[in-house]
Structure 1
Amino acid sequence: MLRAYISPLGIGYGHASRCANLADRLMEEGFSVYFSARGDAYSYLKASKFEVLGGGDEILWKSKEDGSPDFWGTLKDPSILREFISQILEEKKNLEAISPDVVVSDSRLQTLIASEYLGLPTVSVLNQPKLLLHPLIGRWRREILGKSLAKKVEFIVNSMITRFWAVSQATIVADFPPPFSISKYHTSGLPKALMDRLVFSGPLIEPKCGEEEGDIVLIMISGPEAERKPLISELLDFIKEVPEDLRGLEFVISLGDPGDLKVEKLSDRVTTYSWLPNKWDFLSKAKVVVSRAGHTIISEALLCGKPLLLIPVPGQTEKIENAKNVQELGLGINLDQEKIKKDFFNHLRTLLEDDGFSKRAMEFRKRFSDWDFLGRAVGVIESVIY
């Protein structure tokens, strides 16, 4: 029996959930699957009944009060490099003990480096092969450095990161192919060494969308706690006062905490769930999906044909660019967190009243309805073994 070792990035639940889907398909194909994870990914996979090595905290960006990443505060922390090296050594130890036939690293450089050192067949899973760093550097620091130097810093960092990704035998981009890619700005302009081994599999999801119509506005707040809390706090501050013209809708809010299954009725039209174990039922009945602009929830909503209202984390370039691209594709609206109280209900009305959004979302769903995303990914994994 072939052994697959899967290591997802532990920031938020998106990487873990798509790796869990991939693991289920690999086991159907006769693989034994071993997980290694930290942070949110570890807790998610343990709750999903997988056996998981690892535990402990994932290396995270430091965050400001509004949830935005603190670029300079992160770089000044001397413990990060030590922890990074420690995790590489831990991955090396795990890999030596299991001796897998293939290693799947979902956005975790630590696993990729350890696997390359041991000479194991390796597949990278990514939706953000490069980073857009210059917005993170901060406006006043960009003025000091100059725009040109800030771009050079970004180029140097990305040259290093993409070179690491390119050591794997194959790279699965868990995104729709161009021109429909959600992470368009992070998957274009890549070096040839990486492009030559890159396959767009589509999101690692097996959609379970029903056809039953509903009147739900589904608000799914995912990501690390430091990113979720500021938005949850702002939403709960005004969401109970639903305008008269929107009271025919039911507002369902998932707080993104899988450790609890608490349900609270905030008003006759607003209910919060700590976690939605049956999220496909809610996605199927939603008229609009509101989210933090994480790649997984965007993909899930679009595969159910639902338009999106996206509120990306301030300064978090991956989610900001995801939201911008969804808006450019006409599949949703990008809302700045600073304007949420002023514009939330207005943008929601636009998505509900302009049927162009829902029509384009349904066209998107139909375009990819016959794709076996997980099957494509398994084919790539098997190709590096044989």
Structure 2
Amino acid sequence: MKRVHDHKRILIAPLYWGLGHATRCIPIINALITHGFEPVIASDGGALELLRKEFPKLKSFELPSYNISYPKKGNSFKWKVLTSSPHILKTIKRENAIIKTLVETEHIDGIISDNRFGVRHPSVPSIYITHQLKVLSGKTTWLSSKWHQDIIKKFDECWVPDFGGDANLSGILGHIKKPTFSIKYIGALSRFKKEKRPETIDILAVLSGPEPQRTQFEEKLINLFKKGNKQITLVRGIVEDQQKITKIGEIVLYNFMTTDELQNTINSSKLLVSRSGYTTIMDLAKLQKKVVFIPTPGQYEQLYLAKMLSDKKIAPAFSQDSFSLSDLKWEANYSGFSNIEQHTDFKRLFSLF
């Protein structure tokens, strides 16, 4: 293949299941640019729109959507995923065909897939990013974990955005005994920087994740916050062409924020309310913020992470159904996130390319 570009081109493709996979790819994209590579973005939906806004000068491509959604009742989530399996398998095949074409037409030298199963190529170094070496699904955890690990084996390396020792953020999700594939623990990833700012916002609620649970969470929070008199900012996590700002009483609602805006807002907040998604946990660990977690109903991963952090007395967690304003009182027996070393040796990681 004849080279037509001055820099090696690395395709980076996050899954669109909420915005967490896309946002944790932002520091990787920035590091690729810093180390002389040319990133090429590929995703779908809100994840693709977010990365296009963050990196308007980079070339980007749309991939087929997995169309993963949550049922209205969280306890039927496993059945929802099972019935979606035929569509997911078709999407993986379509995705893989598109990647084969892109590798040829865009002269791709390396691939970084964040949980996109079909984004790999046999003749190009292909990396898979995940914090879920073990996929929790109740009684079928062994089966869902084996299925995911079989996918990971098809890639050259698996990068886990966490630490390899006991002081880690993902617990049993990102740490398994006797792995049969290459794992590199690359440290926690966050697009944010901790800054000292006046804490002018009493409560910041950051929403994310697939529908309809995202909307149900938003409606629950608005109804609760309307009853109080605190300064509330709510970021809806809906990426659109234009930023929209509305007010409901003391609540200021944003449809989305850019990285810089959200970084400033989080640093200016006394307390956060959010899902217990793993990317959010990495961000708040970096920023050392106080948070109340409301895991997505039926989402085993978020339920596990919220309980783990609550058991460690780092942050309290409450169910979406029972959550009330009285739960927003930060209790003294929770420590919050302590400072953790966030350095990632990107030079070493990128040497594969």
Whether TM exceeds 0.5 here: the answer is yes
Aligned residue among 5, 8, 12 for 2:11: 5
| Contact 2:189–2:283 (CA under 8 A) maintained in structure 1 | no
- Quickly say closer, same or farther: Cα 1:160–1:225, change in 2 above 3 A: closer
Secondary structure of the corresponding residue to residue 337 of structure 1: coil
| Contact 2:225–2:325 (CA under 8 A) maintained in structure 1 | no
Q: Which residue is equivalent to 1:379?
A: 347
CA distance in 2, matches of 1:36, 1:336: 35
CA distance in 2, matches of 1:381, 1:177: 15
Q: Which residue is equivalent to 2:50?
A: 44
- Structure having the higher helix fraction is 1
- Quickly say closer, same or farther: Cα 1:68–1:252, change in 2 above 3 A: farther
Residue identity over aligned pairs, in percent, reads: 21
Aligned residue among 56, 60, 71 for 1:64: 71
1:1-386 matches, within 5 Å, as: 1-48=7-54, 49=56, 50-56=58-64, 58-66=65-73, 70-77=77-84, 78-112=86-120, 115=121, 118-134=122-138, 150=139, 153-194=140-181, 197-215=182-200, 216-242=202-228, 247=229, 249-259=230-240, 260-267=242-249, 269-277=250-258, 278-340=261-323, 344-349=324-329, 351=330, 353-354=331-332, 356-357=333-334, 360-361=335-336, 364-365=338-339, 367-368=340-341, 371-373=342-344, 376=345, 378-385=346-353
- Quickly say closer, same or farther: Cα 1:69–1:279, change in 2 above 3 A: farther
Q: Number of aligned residue pairs: give it.
A: 340
Secondary structure of the corresponding residue to residue 263 of structure 2: helix
CA distance in 2, matches of 1:170, 1:293: 27
For 1:130, give the aligned amino acid. Answer: K
Larger deviation: 62-71 or 93-102?
62-71
Q: Give me the CA root mean square deviation.
A: 2.2
CA distance in 1, matches of 2:177, 2:115: 16
For 2:22, give the aligned amino acid. Answer: A
Once the two structures are superposed, what CA deviation does each residue of 1:239-277 show, in whole Å capped at 9, x if it has no partner? 1111xxxx4x4211111112142212212x322111233
| Contact 1:122–1:170 (CA under 8 A) maintained in structure 2 | yes
Larger deviation: 103-112 or 83-92?
83-92
In the alignment, structure 1 segments of 5+ residues that lack a partner are 135-149
CA distance in 2, matches of 1:120, 1:98: 13
CA distance in 2, matches of 1:379, 1:23: 13
Secondary structure of the corresponding residue to residue 212 of structure 2: helix
In the alignment, structure 2 segments of 5+ residues that lack a partner are 1-6
- Quickly say closer, same or farther: Cα 1:109–1:127, change in 2 above 3 A: same
- Quickly say closer, same or farther: Cα 1:337–1:46, change in 2 above 3 A: same
Secondary structure of the corresponding residue to residue 10 of structure 2: strand
Secondary structure of the corresponding residue to residue 199 of structure 1: strand
| Contact 1:68–1:227 (CA under 8 A) maintained in structure 2 | no
Once the two structures are superposed, what CA deviation does each residue of 1:40-90 show, in whole Å capped at 9, x if it has no partner? 22121222214211245x213342124666332442354443233222212
Runs of 4+ in 1 over 4 A off after TM superposition: 66-69
Secondary structure of the corresponding residue to residue 321 of structure 2: helix
Q: Which residue is equivalent to 1:146?
A: none
Secondary structure of the corresponding residue to residue 141 of structure 2: helix
- Quickly say closer, same or farther: Cα 1:301–1:73, change in 2 above 3 A: closer
| Contact 1:66–1:230 (CA under 8 A) maintained in structure 2 | no
Per the normalisation by structure 2, the TM-score is 0.88
